[in-house]
């Protein structure tokens, strides 16, 4: 019973962090918004991941206009504009949520691990 309760608490905390980051399957602002699943090969990916510093957004459907790096609670830590390459070497080791917005309005979320 304790293991089941612990599992439920972990799931609730994970869902809470994703919701705080604004990840929803619905469209906002007329653009297409996608979830953090990396199973779709048409979705942008972050390379290298895990990383120690520079990261490149690969496979975005259009020109990347904004990359936002957030902690797991959804707080914005860094914003990079008009670039597909960004540097997080000064951030602490851990997991981050990255929001990628393209010129055509698509928004994707990816998990990024900083070593």
Domains, the chain, with CATH or none: 2-114 (2.60.40.1270)
Across the 115 residues of the chain, what is the mean pLDDT of every consecutive 10-residue run?
Answer: 49 50 44 52 88 95 95 97 96 97 94 97
Q: What's the pLDDT at 8? A: 44
User: What was the pLDDT predicted at 24?
Assistant: 42
Task: Look at the pTM and tell me if it is higher than 0.85.
Answer: no
What pLDDT was estimated at residue 41? 56
State residue 43's pLDDT score: 85
Instruction: Please give the Cα distance from 81 to 71 (Å, whole number).
Output: 18
- Cα dihedral angle (94, 97, 101, 105), rounded to 10 degrees? 170
Specify the pLDDT at position 84. Answer: 95
Tokens 């994703």 sit on residue: 18
* Confidence (pLDDT) at 25: 39
- CA-to-CA distance for 68 and 30, rounded, in angstroms? 19
Nearest CA-CA partner of 62 in 43, 40, 48? 43
How many other CB atoms are there within 10 angstroms of residue 57's CB atom? 21
């Amino acid at each position: 019973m304790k293991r089941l309760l612990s599992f439920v608490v972990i799931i609730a905390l994970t869902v809470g962090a994703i919701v705080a980051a604004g990840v929803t399957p619905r469209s906002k602002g007329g653009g297409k918004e996608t979830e953090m699943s990396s199973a779709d090969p048409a979705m942008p990916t972050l390379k290298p991941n895990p990383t120690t510093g520079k990261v490149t957004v690969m496979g975005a459907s259009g020109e990347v206009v904004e990359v936002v790096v957030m902690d797991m609670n959804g707080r914005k830590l860094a914003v990079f504009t008009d670039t597909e390459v960004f540097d997080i070497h000064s951030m602490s080791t851990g997991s981050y949520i990255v929001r990628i917005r393209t010129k055509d309005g698509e928004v994707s979320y990816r998990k990024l691990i900083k070593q």
